[in-house]
Amino acid sequence: MKTDFPELSALTLIGENDPPAYEVINPDGAASMLLICDHASRAFPKAMERIGLDESVLDLHIAWDIGAADVTRRLSQKLDAAAVLAGYSRLLIDVNRQPGDPGSIPEISDTTTVPGNLNLSEAQQLERVESFFWPYHHALANSMAHLWRRGVAPALFSIHSFTPSLGGKDRYWDIGVLWNRDPRLAVPLLDKLKTADGGRYHVGDNEPYSGKEIAYTIDLHAGAAGLPNCAVEIRQDLIETPQGAQHWADILADAFTDILANDNLHKVEHF
């Protein structure tokens, strides 16, 4: 059966006065690592009218990773590292999931019904993919390639945040390191975080989520190419203020100063 798809090159849901689909910071930074933030923004195109959601939803974790963008910007400055940040809310489409995945454009997110995501046609879903998903991933791929063309295999580091409680249960961790098969970035980062500030933080290894299950972006742009990669999840109440975001950016910068100096890190290796 033939499926009629729209002309993909002509698709865009982003208006002339809307924010761009992504932001690239410090593209020529000296660090041999790219920082990314998949859920940096709670923005919606004006014409889409928040896809039927009340404005108060924009203050919730389901719309974006609270504090993650601020940490990314500050860490970019501390490390002199390039960074790519997604420009729109994950409620439009989650750029950290494969298009077509039921969680990619959620009809319900943490008990909140998303009216504008109900019963979308395939053509409407493709509009989201072409408008928000691929521009971000193309920018990320180009940024990684730009770093690699300088001659050193770059690392990829993704920054997220998580809620202090879920389903009525408090979460124990201050920060978690998410990784799949490649230990080169994750294991030394875990060691550094466990001793930071005198060992005062609860550091989770693949907590509160597993990088073996939710790691689309780092798998696609680094894991598949044999480049070192991992992600962190920081509890959002620790980074929701400028002071908190700076504190955690400082901790991560201190950790990566030693990690990135390891020549054995910057090579292609498949696990």
DSSP per residue over 51-75, as a string? GG--GGGGGSTTTS-TTHHHHHHHH
Any domain includes 266 = no
Any domain includes 171 = yes
> What pLDDT is stored for residue 171 in this prediction?
82
CATH number of the domain bearing residue 41: 3.40.630.40
Cis peptide before 20 (omega within 30 of 0): no
> What pLDDT is stored for residue 1 in this prediction?
40
Q: Please, what are the averages of pLDDT over each run of 10 residues along the chain (271 residues)? A: 46 90 97 98 95 92 97 98 98 97 92 92 95 98 98 97 80 93 96 96 91 90 97 97 98 96 93 92
Any domain includes 2 = no
Tally of domains within the chain? 1
What is the 3-state secondary structure of 118-181? Answer: CCCCHHHHHHHHHHHHHHHHHHHHHHHHHHHCCCCCCEEEEEEEECCEECCEECCCCEEEECCC
**Strand 155-162 versus strand 229-235 pairing type:** parallel
> What pLDDT is stored for residue 111 in this prediction?
85
- φ, ψ dihedrals at 159, nearest 5°: -120, 125
Measured CA to CA, the distance from residue 206 to residue 175 in angstroms comes to: 10
> What pLDDT is stored for residue 213 in this prediction?
82
Any domain includes 215 = yes
Any domain includes 29 = yes
Measured CA to CA, the distance from residue 94 to residue 76 in angstroms comes to: 23
Any domain includes 240 = yes
In DSSP terms, which residues pair with 227 in a beta bridge?
A: none
Q: Which domain holds residue 75?
A: 8-261
> What pLDDT is stored for residue 3 in this prediction?
47
